[in-house]
Structure 1
Amino acid sequence: MEDPIVSMKNIDYAYERKNVLNDINLEIPRGAFMGLLGPNGGGKTTLIKVILGLLKPDNGNVRLFGQPIRRFKDWSRIGFVSQKANTFNKGFPATVYEVVAMGLTAKIGYLKLLTAKHKKKVLKTIDQVGMRNYAYENIGRLSGGQQQRVFIARSLVSDPELLILDEPTVGVDQENVQKFFELLHQLNDDHNITLLLVTHDTGTMIEHATDIVCLNKTLHFHGDPSEYKRLSNKDLSR
């Protein structure tokens, strides 16, 4: 049986003795589209940082692609998109092409020039997220939804197997939120990219996700969308 992409066992984490994650046991299987739901302060971003190796848990074990995280080195297999549309400096002097090309840095090195093959890959990835007509536009002139597509392309250009997105639709209007989820669904369905998405948009999430996880310091629920829909109001409040 194939190893899950992420395996977390008995994970605890505390900030200044205040528990943020308590006995987390979670697996992300290959091909999943997992929605991570929960209140502000419930530990969602902390969980992501543990997966990305940015925080070391106080207890428990994390494995990535079957390897203990302390031995995992191939970080280009994991892409990450944060709330960039809400915080991006609109005066940043870079085109869509240049921003996406930055995603190859980890693979080719900071001082290496892009080859013709790399340049073709950048344009192909921009096209993949529906932004080909904007390839040479300054990114600061784009809408929040368009910018998020560019940041996804920057993460995708290195061919990750897992893409983690931390509330990427903050500041994006509802029409573009729907288009954004349709893009993620396509990446998951057609390109077999495993997704972990933190969002407050529960309604749209359950239309597309294969797995729903509810986190508030502990895991209160992990199941498919149909099971989530059957939860009582009491369970949802908890």
Structure 2
Amino acid sequence: MTNAIVEMNNVDFHYRDRQALSHVNFIINEGDFIGLVGPNGGGKTTLIKLLLGIEKPTTGSINIFGKPIDKFKQKNKLGYVSQKANTFNRGFPATVEEVVSMGLTAKLGYFRRLSKHYKHNIHEAIDKVGMSSYLFENIGDLSGGQQQRIFIARALVSDPSLLILDEPTVGVDAENVEKFFDLLHQLNQQNISLLLVTHDIGTMTHHASKIACLNNTLHFHGNPEEFQSLSKGKLSDFYGHPLHLVTHEH
């Protein structure tokens, strides 16, 4: 039996001047690797804010691990790598170890001395992303791809069951993008479910186990083969404008 991590039931969300989401029904099950695609302004960022509890639905309900989101207290079970991680200040004076330790701030608070237990968790998270040899390197001295691994480690240090990534490969070169997805597959095999927001349909159909297409409402939620079989006309209807698909060779 598959266990649901996230259940969104008939969710609407209104900003003051517009409706961002309409009648969204969306499920993330244990073991899923979901690629969330859709046009700019289609509601992807809003959906993430709702899952993280930053915003509340106007109508409808959201359950996280079987509990209503307003009663869900185990925030460490949700890891998040924001799009802003790609614009990290390279002059920021912090080592890899220090940056990853920031992932424990919500649990421990600021300025608390780290115990051996939490030090072990930090080093284990860094090891999971293959960056142990960079433990004491300054974060600003790393490449974009290496930095992105560290930001994932920062999200992993709280031991999440679901990792949410918002446009994580922006600014990362093609070779490191492939390495990045290899890492995500490894994490997925270690019982971490993934929700990855992207504009790159071609890449996601090669890597994700499910595709969700969001443009105000959820137009599609199924496997990549079904998504690829949709006509260009149907996809253009989902996006609200003509769509040019780029094929990726792997």
> Structure 1: where are the runs of 5+ without partners?
none
Question: Hey, what does 2:39 align to over in structure 1?
Answer: 39
Question: Hey, what does 1:82 align to over in structure 2?
Answer: 82
Answer with 180-189 or 104-113: which moved more. Answer: 104-113
2:109 equivalent to 1:122: no
2:212 equivalent to 1:213: yes
Question: Hey, what does 1:235 align to over in structure 2?
Answer: 234
Q: Secondary structure at the match of 1:6?
A: strand
Answer with 147-156 or 115-124: which moved more. Answer: 115-124
2:92 equivalent to 1:92: yes
Deviation at 1:2, TM superposition (A): 5.2
> Structure 2: where are the runs of 5+ without partners?
238-250
Letter in 1 for 2:230: L
Give me the identity figure in percent. 62
Q: Secondary structure at the match of 1:192?
A: coil
1:25-78 CA distance string (max 9 Å, x none): 001011100000001111000000011110111110000000001111110010
CA distance change for structure 1 residues 233 and 57 in 2, over 3 Å: closer, same or farther?
same
Work out whether residues 211 and 220 of structure 2, in 8 Å CA contact, stay in contact via their aligned partners in 1.
yes
Deviation at 1:85, TM superposition (A): 4.2
Q: Secondary structure at the match of 2:113?
A: coil
What is the CA–CA distance in structure 2 between the aligned matches of 1:4 and 1:91, rounded to whole Å?
A: 41
Letter in 1 for 2:209: T
What is the RMSD of the two structures over their aligned residues, measured on CA atoms?
1.2
Deviation at 1:99, TM superposition (A): 0.5
What is the CA–CA distance in structure 1 between the aligned matches of 2:20 and 2:204, rounded to whole Å?
A: 24
Question: Hey, what does 1:193 align to over in structure 2?
Answer: 192
Question: Hey, what does 2:170 align to over in structure 1?
Answer: 170
Work out whether residues 86 and 148 of structure 2, in 8 Å CA contact, stay in contact via their aligned partners in 1.
no
What is the CA–CA distance in structure 2 between the aligned matches of 1:41 and 1:126, rounded to whole Å?
A: 34
Question: Hey, what does 2:49 align to over in structure 1?
Answer: 49
What is the CA–CA distance in structure 2 between the aligned matches of 1:176 and 1:200, rounded to whole Å?
A: 18
What is the CA–CA distance in structure 1 between the aligned matches of 2:156 and 2:84, rounded to whole Å?
A: 16
Q: Secondary structure at the match of 1:5?
A: strand
Answer with 115-124 or 136-145: which moved more. Answer: 115-124
Answer with 214-223 or 202-211: which moved more. Answer: 202-211
What is the CA–CA distance in structure 1 between the aligned matches of 2:85 and 2:19, rounded to whole Å?
A: 30
What is the CA–CA distance in structure 2 between the aligned matches of 1:117 and 1:152, rounded to whole Å?
A: 20
Question: Hey, what does 2:147 align to over in structure 1?
Answer: 147
Task: Give me the TM-score of the superposition, normalised by structure 1.
Answer: 0.96
Deviation at 1:204, TM superposition (A): 1.9
Letter in 2 for 1:110: Y
